[in-house]
């Protein structure tokens, strides 16, 4: 009896990681997990700023493993827009930080505070215009 229970529980734990069980999760949970997994693939690739086509293809395949039709661009955009809220984004960022070791929040803060204005080493002297009489 104990052996049977142990085997059953082992099978449940083993299969719980399979994509088959992802279909029983809420759409929101599946979207968060799929997005996190896909972005982790990209962040852990050789060049996250310019991932290879193979990496991009693998990251899109992750969505189909979670039950989404990754070939339907309009449907994927609708789902992305549907769950584009602060709570979802924070959850995804946390997952990316855990899998990549990159502190995403500090990068975002740094990007927002970095100026794109050119820095002048010298200030030009003001030019005084001569007054000319008007005819």
- Domain ranges in the chain? 19-101
Whole-number average pLDDT of the chain: 77
Burial class (CB in 10 A: 0-12, 13-18, 19+), 66: buried
CB half-sphere exposure, 43, CA atoms < 13 A: 18
Q: What percent of the chain has pLDDT over 90?
A: 50
Going by pLDDT thresholds of 50, 70 and 90, the confidence category of residue 109 is low
CA distance 18 to 6: 19
* Residue 46 pLDDT > 80: yes
Which residue do the tokens 């719980």 mark?
16
CA distance 77 to 69: 11
Q: What percent of the chain has pLDDT over 70?
A: 60
CA distance 62 to 1: 38
């Amino acid at each position: 009896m104990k052996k049977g229970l142990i085997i059953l529980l082992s099978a449940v734990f083993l299969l719980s990681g399979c994509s088959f069980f992802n279909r029983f999760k809420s759409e929101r949970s599946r979207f968060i997990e799929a997005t996190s997994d896909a972005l982790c693939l990209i962040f852990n690739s050789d060049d996250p700023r310019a991932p290879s086509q193979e990496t991009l293809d693998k990251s899109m395949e992750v969505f189909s493993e979670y039950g989404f039709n990754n070939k339907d661009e309009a449907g994927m955009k609708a789902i992305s827009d549907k769950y584009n809220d602060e709570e979802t984004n924070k959850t995804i960022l946390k997952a990316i930080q855990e899998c990549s070791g990159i502190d995403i929040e500090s990068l975002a803060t740094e990007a927002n505070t970095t100026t794109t204005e050119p820095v002048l080493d010298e200030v030009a002297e003001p030019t005084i215009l001569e007054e000319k009489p008007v005819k």
